[in-house]
């Protein structure tokens, strides 16, 4: 016999309730720190950091036995990457937009901005996890790259800086950077649901 199941999720609500929900979602404001995760890279630009990341994936056990010197690899994870950013060792930080709960990565763009490290937001935890041999991954950081890829990384960082830091304001007194337009902009909750 089948176990009793709560079917309230599958019930079609009356039209007036659905209209109330729709109006509520349109009127709710999303804080700027969370709304910036809707501004992910476009498909064409997003393929470049992942293509470059493929070269620096962490090694598998068979590869680990073969190597003598440790090559430059990606650093991944929400515990590792902020430490690298604070120590100014990260050359580029890639963050996913669909992290749940978002509080685990919501501070990273502000931290990268404060430390002067370039960052970008891409779509798909599984896509980023595939690069580092995991099911999912929240963030990755480039710490070192081979000499033949330094030019590619520099071009990528320049393209990302123009997308994310194009209107960075600098304090005349302290010389510190303030948040860019993307980080100051609020969003609507209903846009997040549709995304």
Cα angle: 90, vertex 122, 113; to 5 degrees: 40
How much of the chain exceeds pLDDT 70, in percent?
82
Query: pLDDT tens, 154-185?
Result: 999 999 888 776 555 444 444 555 556 666 66
Helix (H, G, I), strand (E, B) or coil at 67: coil
pLDDT reading at 95 higher than 90:
yes
Q: What is the spatial order of strands in the sheet that 139-142 belongs to?
A: 75-76, 139-142, 92-96, 119-122
pLDDT reading at 96 higher than 90:
yes
Q: What CATH architecture does domain 32-168+175-184 belong to? A: 2-Layer Sandwich (3.30)
Looking at residue 173, its pLDDT comes to 43
Q: How confident is the model at residue 15 (pLDDT cuts 50, 70, 90)?
A: very high
Outline where the chain has alpha helix (H): 15-27, 32-35, 43-55, 61-66, 80-86, 108-115, 125-131, 150-164, 181-184, 189-194
Of residues 76 and 100, more confidence is placed in 76
Phi–psi pair at 142, nearest 5 degrees: -85, 120
Contact 76, 130 (CB under 8 A): no
Query: pLDDT tens, 39-93?
Result: 888 888 889 998 999 999 888 888 887 776 667 889 999 999 999 999 999 999 9
Mean pLDDT for the stretch of residues 102-128: 91
Domain boundaries, the chain: 32-168+175-184
The mean of the pLDDT values for the chain is 83
pLDDT reading at 98 higher than 50:
yes
pLDDT reading at 188 higher than 70:
no
The residue to which tokens 């099911």 are assigned: 135
Mean pLDDT for the stretch of residues 30-40: 86
Distance between CA atoms of residues 30 and 2, nearest Å: 41
């Amino acid at each position: 016999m089948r176990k009793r199941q709560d079917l309230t999720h599958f019930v079609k609500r009356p039209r007036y309730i659905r209209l109330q929900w729709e109006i509520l979602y349109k009127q709710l404001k999303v804080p700027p720190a969370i709304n910036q995760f809707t501004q992910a890279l476009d498909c064409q630009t997003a393929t470049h950091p992942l293509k470059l990341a493929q070269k620096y994936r962490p090694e598998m056990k068979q590869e680990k036995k073969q190597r003598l010197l440790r090559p430059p690899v990606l650093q991944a994870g929400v515990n590792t990457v902020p430490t690298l950013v604070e120590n100014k060792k990260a050359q580029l930080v890639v963050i996913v937009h669909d992290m749940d709960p978002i509080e685990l990565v919501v501070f990273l763009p502000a931290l990268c901005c404060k430390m002067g490290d370039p960052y970008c937001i891409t779509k798909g935890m599984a896509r980023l996890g595939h690069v580092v041999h995991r099911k999912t991954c929240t963030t990755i950081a480039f710490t070192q790259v081979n000499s033949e890829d330094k030019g590619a990384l520099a071009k990528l960082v320049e393209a990302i800086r123009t997308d994310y830091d194009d209107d960075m304001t600098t304090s005349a007194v302290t010389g510190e950077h303030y948040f860019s337009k993307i980080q100051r902009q609020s969003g609507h909750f209903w846009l997040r649901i549709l995304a």
